[in-house]
Structure 1
Amino acid sequence: MYELLVLSLLMKFPLHAYLISKISNDTIGPWEQVSRGTLSTLLNKLDKAGLIQAADPGIVPFPTDRPSRTFEITNNGRDRFFELMMDTKKNLGNYQKIFHIKSIYLDFLSDEDQLYLVNHYINYCQTAIDHIKAQQLEFDENPEQVKSIQDSSFYRTIESLMHLNAEQWKLERQWASHLKEQIIISLKNEKRKEHSNDTGMDSG
């Protein structure tokens, strides 16, 4: 996740190391933070791998008097960024956080790739909802198994947590569906422009 976050930030513009740290922690915070040691190790690793390189501090859009290393992404780093963006198989247990990062940088992808990622996330949310529904159904279809604890706070809390989790995933799915609508609108607008340009060329 941290590799994707750093490369994503550098896709926008070169940055001082301390700004990479600040923006990263603002993005994933408040409870999860990238330590200076972890970030420094990652930056050195990406630099050695040829994914990022030292950059001229003068081209950073946020000037500072603070001494700090400055990095920019390389062509290989861009390739790695696209690879990480399109990966939908690794870290599924943490994919909600990963997709939240991806969603910020979807504009670097083609509309088709954006749709692929968003559709995958909608299905990811639906899988979570279906899993919770299956658990609830198991309770409903086997009342004898839960009869002894049905009136306990333990059972009521489990039920309320399942309901809470289902509602949270429904909100995630709704948000992702809104992203999808925006991408489809963008696709339609592009097709209209292309059609308009083609028509204009034909008229000329």
Structure 2
Amino acid sequence: MTMQQPIFDPVKFKDTTRKQWDSAAEAWNRWGPLLTRWLGPATELMLDMTDIGKGSRVLDVAAGAGEETLTAARRVGPTGYVLATDISPGILDFAASNAKLAGHANVDTVVADGEMLDAISAQPFDAVISRVGLIYFPDQNRALGGCAIISSRAARLAPSSIPPPTRTCSSRSRSASSAAAPPCPRLYPASPDRSAWATRRCLPGA
């Protein structure tokens, strides 16, 4: 008897992702310092690639608890602006709270699906960033397309992602990071490979 393969439902996937990140938000926020040490250099490179500096207007897609949002806010300074978006209102609440605690009045948050940024596209942005966010989008091409439209005027779009295990750092470093960090939400049945985008479209020099 042939076992029927599960059918991927992007709507259920997003609903599951939203609920799981809402549930994991507090734990994920507590690990902000670890994320800074782990992903800090990649974040700085991402901001360098988009020429983010004083006065820049930045859209952060799938911002989570906002660790990279605050890094961008420090760069753009009080004359700049950062809009952090995420599908999870629970984790985005921490981004807003963290920005307020850090004294960044130039940061706003909006709950938004990274594949549906039409309402945001009318706003002027100099750069669009997304740190390890694309892996949670069922339709990564659509997400990239929306980000590209928003950044087309300045042509500055820099998403970062996680390549497959064979392309990442040593297994020892990878295991240490995994052991220390809280568990990420599980994949929805039959969902796409989260590292596929990084395999197909690695940035030059990655």
Report the structure number with the largest CA radius of gyration: 1
Structure with more relative contact order (C-alpha pairs < 8 Å, separation 6 or more): 2
Is TM more than 0.5 here? no
Structure with the bigger percentage of strand = 2
Structure with the bigger percentage of helix = 1
Q: TM-score, normalised by structure 2?
A: 0.26
